[in-house]
Structure 1
Amino acid sequence: MDFLSLPKAEIHIHLEGCFDPEDIEALAKDAGVPLPRSRENLYDTSGLSNFLAFLDWTCGLVRFREQLAGAAYAFSRRMHLSGVRYADVIVNPTHWTHWHHRIPDMIDALDGGFAEAEEDGFAPAKLCISLLRKQTSEQAIELVELLTALKHPRVVALSVDGNEAAAGRTGPRFAEAYRRAAQAGLRRTAHAGESSGPEGVRDALDFLRVERIDHGVRVIEDAELVKRLVDEQIALGITPTSNITLGLYGGYDSHPFEALRKAGVPVSVNTDDPSPLSISLPQEYANMANANGWDKETVRAVARTSITASFAEPELKASMLRDLADW
């Protein structure tokens, strides 16, 4: 099957995880900072905590507007080369040292890069601005109030990411921020059920009232929660290679994606951090299709979920779904 031409959306991907090693080397050179390792081994980190620390270091190299705009443009080019028709891209301002207190400028610079990419024929992307799990409830509310006042058309959703195991329970802490986000018309998603168990997903549903969950794979450990996702049709943005690389599962054939799909949970295939994982979305579809014996209609159904669960405009969704039906 031709997974490149497959009409699809990418709905769980981090801009911070889209810097190729040569891009990082160029940024480090501009900043006068030595690389921590050789270019070939830049992403050789062990464990989620070390990986997140490396993302902080990388994003800390980005100091100027043109560098941010360039990162956005490069992201859109990457999506184009993967046959992606639309992307919800996660950006967490806490990773970007020089932009912590300049979030409106940061969003404006990213918007410039995405707009230029669209003019060049690349697919549109919208921003999911993310909280870090270690932030306080006051900081979360402050971010939502900023986004609400800004009303930037490029910003479509509020997210939360980071190490669940290290940060502890965060649902109650961010409940008020998410309530205000919903009131302001922002869409809501959250990372849950990866480094935490099913309880992280339950908190995201009960306290954050999310519309979509990033990861969510460990709900497979709780049959009642699986049924709830089916009943409420809460989609999971699953990233199999990321889960396997971090040691959650032994391989594509033992990953719970297929069990969740067969149970009726809306599931989509995504790449999470494609540069360090050396993965593209067509490759990720091929991995899952080969491991689980998917036929064309199954692939079409998974791609359909990526589109319907995305935060794209209704007209764009309808266009993508028409193309998918003809694929």
Structure 2
Amino acid sequence: MSDYRTLPKAEVHIHLEGCFERDDVIRNCKEAGIPLRRPRDELFKAEDLKSFLEMLDWICGTFRTREQLFGTAYKFSQRMATSGVRYADVIVNPTHWPHWSGDIPAMIDALDAGFAAAEQDGNPPVGLCVSLLRTQSEAQSIELVELLSTIRHPRVVALSIDGNEAAAGRTGPRFAEAFRRAAAAGLRRTVHAGESSGPEGIRDALELLGADRIDHGVRAIEDLELVDLLADRQIPLGICPISNVVLGVYPSLEQHPIDLLRKGGVSVSINTDDPALLSTTLEDSYKACAATFAWDDEIIRQLARNSVEASYADPVVKARIMADVAVWQA
């Protein structure tokens, strides 16, 4: 059986909010006098996407000091190194963090310090994708982009948007101006779509938000013209197969469309979404998909190349990883 930890790759769809260690959250609660939401063994339990997002809000609310953010960023980079990730784009949504949403520059500085210290210690470089929530207003979205444009922090590589599309309804028109301004400011644009929404959410992400990468995007399979469009434009999909099964988007990995999308010419990559909360790792996700879809080493190498090409890494970093992918053998 192949050891996919040795595969040089990028992780391009992962949320910092989904990478917490249980013991760290419990320690935060003890320090701040916060009662646990559930018993220790069920602390990260959620029944569906709605309860999952509610859990994220509670967990993030336990992080109240710069030192806690520094430690979270450092441990994230260590997690990536353990899985053989050579570069990661990590999504952070300030709306989940009640003690930091009013001072986003301080939040970014604290996370940046943790990522920088980890990279100095030999862990992979990390880019920060600052995310809007779909329930925010147009004014709030523009305010965030203007802030990011003003501070121009080198750690911030992209504007993102996430949240429950099914609950929020169609939001593309509301956020179009924010994403237009993000593009003008030189930020990349990555959009959650085609998870709780159907193909129409992906079309809005492309046509209204100018997305250069789609997070999830799996429900494009329901519209073959859209599949062809994604393939023609080579818009990458940051797919999280295990997350999609655990959160009920698909009943099983066998019924997941990642292989059909790959065969349709779409640039797909394997990612973890919220690995700590979903009890998975990137190498396990590769292993499960390879076994389910009978992928050989060349297909695995192509998926790794896709992840690197889809990433917002510096071109020099990309070239270095690509060279290592070319000589990788299982």
TM range (shorter): over 0.9
Q: Alignment partner of 2:174: what SS?
A: helix
| CA distance in structure 1 between the aligned counterparts of 2:164 and 2:60, rounded to whole angstroms | 18
Q: Which residue of 1 aligns with 2:192?
A: 191
Q: Which residue of 2 aligns with 1:278?
A: 279
Structure 2 residue identity aligned to 1:30: E
| CA distance in structure 1 between the aligned counterparts of 2:88 and 2:165, rounded to whole angstroms | 24
1:230-269 mapped onto 2 (5 Å cutoff)? 230-269=231-270
Q: Which residue of 2 aligns with 1:113?
A: 114
Q: Alignment partner of 1:166: what SS?
A: helix
1:128-207 mapped onto 2 (5 Å cutoff)? 128-207=129-208
| CA distance in structure 2 between the aligned counterparts of 1:194 and 1:317, rounded to whole angstroms | 28
Of 245-254 and 159-168, more deviation after overlay is shown by 245-254
The C-alpha deviation readout for 1:279-317, integer Å capped at 9, x for no partner, is: 000000001000000000000000100000000000000
| CA distance in structure 2 between the aligned counterparts of 1:196 and 1:283, rounded to whole angstroms | 27
Structure 1 residue identity aligned to 2:96: H
Q: Alignment partner of 2:255: what SS?
A: coil
Q: Displacement, 1:140? A: 0.5
| CA distance in structure 2 between the aligned counterparts of 1:54 and 1:141, rounded to whole angstroms | 27
Q: Displacement, 1:46? A: 1.2
Identity percentage over the alignment? Answer: 62
Structure 1 residue identity aligned to 2:237: L
Structure 1 residue identity aligned to 2:238: G
| CA distance in structure 1 between the aligned counterparts of 2:248 and 2:92, rounded to whole angstroms | 24
Q: Alignment partner of 2:3: what SS?
A: coil
Q: Alignment partner of 2:129: what SS?
A: strand
Of 104-113 and 19-28, more deviation after overlay is shown by 19-28
CA root-mean-square deviation: 0.6
Structure 2 residue identity aligned to 1:302: L
Matched, 1:126 2:155: no
Structure 1 residue identity aligned to 2:259: E
| CA distance in structure 2 between the aligned counterparts of 1:273 and 1:59, rounded to whole angstroms | 13
1:287-326 mapped onto 2 (5 Å cutoff)? 287-326=288-327
Give the ranges of 4+ consecutive aligned residues of structure 1 lying more than 6 Å apart after TM superposition: none
Q: Displacement, 1:263? A: 0.4
| CA distance in structure 2 between the aligned counterparts of 1:62 and 1:98, rounded to whole angstroms | 7
Q: Which residue of 2 aligns with 1:61?
A: 62
Of 14-23 and 282-291, more deviation after overlay is shown by 14-23
Q: Displacement, 1:158? A: 0.2
Q: Which residue of 1 aligns with 2:98?
A: 97
Q: Which residue of 2 aligns with 1:38?
A: 39
The C-alpha deviation readout for 1:156-207, integer Å capped at 9, x for no partner, is: 0000000000111111110000000000000000000000111000000010
The C-alpha deviation readout for 1:229-278, integer Å capped at 9, x for no partner, is: 01100000000011001111121111000000000000000000001111
| CA distance in structure 2 between the aligned counterparts of 1:310 and 1:201, rounded to whole angstroms | 19
Q: Which residue of 1 aligns with 2:223?
A: 222
| CA distance in structure 1 between the aligned counterparts of 2:24 and 2:239, rounded to whole angstroms | 27
Q: Which residue of 1 aligns with 2:209?
A: 208
Of 261-270 and 250-259, more deviation after overlay is shown by 250-259
| CA distance in structure 1 between the aligned counterparts of 2:44 and 2:99, rounded to whole angstroms | 22
| CA distance in structure 2 between the aligned counterparts of 1:2 and 1:321, rounded to whole angstroms | 18
| CA distance in structure 2 between the aligned counterparts of 1:313 and 1:39, rounded to whole angstroms | 40
Structure 2 residue identity aligned to 1:250: P
Number of residue equivalences: 327
Structure 1 residue identity aligned to 2:182: A
The C-alpha deviation readout for 1:46-74, integer Å capped at 9, x for no partner, is: 11111101111110111111111111001
TM-score (norm 1): 0.99
TM-score (norm 2): 0.98
Of 117-126 and 36-45, more deviation after overlay is shown by 36-45
| CA distance in structure 1 between the aligned counterparts of 2:22 and 2:295, rounded to whole angstroms | 33
1:73-92 mapped onto 2 (5 Å cutoff)? 73-92=74-93
Structure 1 residue identity aligned to 2:160: S
Q: Displacement, 1:9? A: 0.3
